Amino acid sequence: MATKIHVFVVVYPVQGHINPMLQFSKRLASKNVRVTLITTSAYKNLNENQPTNPTILFDYISDGFSGEKPSGIADFVETFKNESSKSLPELIEKQRKTEYPVSAIVYDSFMPWVLDISKKFGLYGVSFFTHSCVVSTIYYHTSKGSLRIPVENGNVVSLPSISCLEMGDLPSFVSDLDSYPGVLKLVLDRFSNFEEADCLFFNSFDNLENEVVNWLSSKWKIMTIGPSVPSMFLDKRLADDRDYGLSLFKPDGDACIKWLDGKDSDSVVYVSFGSLANLEQDYMDEIAWGLLDSKCSFIWVVRDTEKSKLSEKFVEESADRGLIVNWSPQLEVLAHKAVGSFMTHCGWNSTLEALSLGVPMMVVPQWTDQTTNAKYIVDVWQTGVRVKAHDKEKITREDVTKSVKDVMEGTKREELKANALKFKEMALEAMSEGGSSDKNIDDFIAEIVTSSTST
């Protein structure tokens, strides 16, 4: 591979977006490409305190707030856009004077203005979608007005290559257009100029979303480059790549693994609702007592800001069977032989991790793309069960107990586990040498070489 290629990877400063783009950067760097990951200065201390792949360079731009909190998402995006539109060109200009001038920019699709900067400098520009192909396609149709809410023909949503959805399966920003107008604008603005990009990247793999990948490919130049999961949990081709590297949370790693080491194979339920979930008190209560009633051992990630919602009685009665931590090394936990299932909020990163490690899921979607991911986990990929039915307003402890038993015992578990292992093999194949995602990354590098040579 060429040694003078230099790619800027510009990320949107949210943990769930940084992780996959950082993993992609590691893949590029492993192929003898110079990579600089650009994020906001708020992450500078994290990078210095948590060494990542030494082959990746880091540079920083201001988000414009200097520790102050924005008044809302619209305020943040506008200020961040203005700041990055000034500082990113300065970084590109600085690199022009070195032996490694920037050859291409891969940018988070949440930052469409970066493509304008890329084109100004005559650089190859790629929009990186951190959602699934299906969710991104739904947002695209929403942005173009071809998906009208409420749906005219009853409850069924019909879109090209996506025919299995009901209203409740749509991303929450779409099914309820007035719920978070600022965030809806952010996800739809990605399509303002995306057709001008040289390529579109998706953190997915061909065999996972085959129909929609084919539809997208018939319209635009796209490449699946995932799952963007640390290599030691997939193909093991990147030495010591065991975690993402930049995290706002410090996991209780030793406590989790030591506790799991003392448990039987496939005997533990792992429960985590991500870094943003803020569950209502009755929701927490029903999950807690449902887990206890299931009689299964469990690890439950409960952030410090949420721990006051756990009753003292539950903590006391679950002490001999449960481990409650404020954060966990999720990949290590999911890969542990003792873990038999994953109760998840269905964030796309968590979904890909469970699929990549062959772990059946219990889905408890909250908002945004999680409802669509849950639909695919349960009904399309058939690697999980739904804890609460669509027609139920509240989750109950009986729902939780039943879902745990379904996923951990009997013929239902056998079916879910077999399907989960099938997708694990597909994920491994995609990222292994010559696999679909690996080949796409090679093709991307070859195109940059051609583009750089012709300019």
Tally of domains in the chain: 2
238: which DSSP letter?
A: S
Domain-embedded: residue 444 = yes
- 258 shares a domain with 233: no
- 294 shares a domain with 235: no
Q: How many angstroms separate the CA atoms of 32 and 95, rounded?
A: 18
Crossing angle for the helix pair 113-120 and 73-96, nearest 10 degrees?
20
- 126 shares a domain with 44: yes
- 78 shares a domain with 142: yes
68: left (phi over 0), alpha (psi -120 to 50) or beta: beta
Catalytic positions: 17, 108
Task: Write out pLDDT tens, residues 224-249.
Answer: 999 999 999 999 999 889 888 766 66
CATH of residue 436:
3.40.50.2000
- 263 shares a domain with 230: no
Domain-embedded: residue 326 = yes
Task: Write out pLDDT tens, residues 28-59.
Answer: 999 999 999 999 987 776 655 444 556 799 99
Domain span at 333: 253-427
Domain-embedded: residue 293 = yes
Domain-embedded: residue 325 = yes
CA 345 vs CA 183, 185, 275, 303, 370: distances in Å:
19, 23, 10, 14, 7
Q: Which segments in the chain show pLDDT lower than 70?
A: 1-3, 45-54, 67, 150-154, 246-250, 252, 453-455
Report pLDDT for 171: 95
Report pLDDT for 51: 47
Task: Centre a 10 Å sphere on the Cβ of residue 76 and count the other Cβ atoms it contains.
Answer: 18
- 20 shares a domain with 121: yes
Report pLDDT for 158: 85
Domain-embedded: residue 1 = no
- 273 shares a domain with 148: no
Domain-embedded: residue 40 = yes
Q: How many angstroms separate the CA atoms of 124 and 140, rounded?
A: 23
Report pLDDT for 272: 96
Report pLDDT for 279: 86
Q: Is the Cβ–Cβ distance between 11 and 108 less than 8 Å?
A: yes
Domain-embedded: residue 205 = yes
Which residues make beta-bridge pairs with 299?
Answer: 270, 323
- 216 shares a domain with 76: yes
Domain-embedded: residue 339 = yes
- 439 shares a domain with 418: no
- 302 shares a domain with 234: no
- 99 shares a domain with 220: yes
- 259 shares a domain with 172: no
